[in-house]
Amino acid sequence: MPAIDTRMTTSTRRWTILASAIGVVLLGAVAAAAFLLSYKILPPPGIAPVIADEENSTYASTPCIMANTLDRELINNRNEVSDPDKTLELKPYANEKTIANVTSDPRWKRDTACNYAFGFDQIVTRWMRLTGYRSRWADDGHWRW
């Protein structure tokens, strides 16, 4: 019976090395992408203002109030929201609180529509932290967006 030649030819060896190198590079790229795209969720600071609905025990962020991304209207002058010279006129059941006020009391819940629209937390990836990102909150706690 003839012996089977198990030696690789030079051409086969080159292709094996090339395929292995491509596999290592692709694996490294996937690992780097996974690392850079990993994220953490930053909650609003305790001093961030929110508008609270006293009847429903819910609260909404200022950006949600401005964009009308709410379960229930909390301001009277919706048509004047875009005018910076006008102040918001709150409904009788609404008042201003801070995140610290509402999170310290378990009866308060986030407005569902506002929460669904990512109106509270900020998702920050490692890539964003490396390239610089702008926080949703100013140093005094006010919302920037």
**50 within a domain of the structure (yes/no):** yes
Q: Which helix (H) or strand (E) holds 11?
A: helix 10-37
Task: Compute the distance between CA of residue 43 and CA of residue 64 in angstroms, rounded to an integer.
Answer: 15
The pair of structure tokens assigned to 39 is 């994220």
What domain range is 31 assigned to?
10-38
Amino acid at 6: T
Judge whether 101 lies within some domain: yes
pLDDT tens figures, 55-113: 999 999 988 998 888 999 999 988 888 888 888 899 999 999 999 999 999 999 999 99
> 32 and 90: one domain?
no
Residues 6+ away with beta carbon under 8 Å from 68: 78, 81
Edge-to-edge strand ranges of the sheet holding 109-110: 94-98, 49-53, 58-61, 109-110
* Residue 142 located in a structural domain: no
Do 66 and 117 sit in the same domain of this protein? Answer: yes
- For residues 106 and 123, membership in a common domain is answered with yes
- Contact indicator for 66, 74 with CB cutoff of 8 Å: no
Lowest mean pLDDT among 2-16, 39-53, 55-69: 2-16
Residues 51 and 90 sit within 8 Å (Cβ to Cβ): yes
Q: Is there a single domain that holds both residue 56 and residue 119?
A: yes
In this structure, the answer to whether residues 105 and 69 fall within a common structural domain is yes
Total structural domains within the chain: 2
Residues 32, 45, single domain; the answer is no
Q: State whether 55 and 34 are in the same domain.
A: no
Segment 19-31, tens digit of pLDDT:
889 999 999 999 9
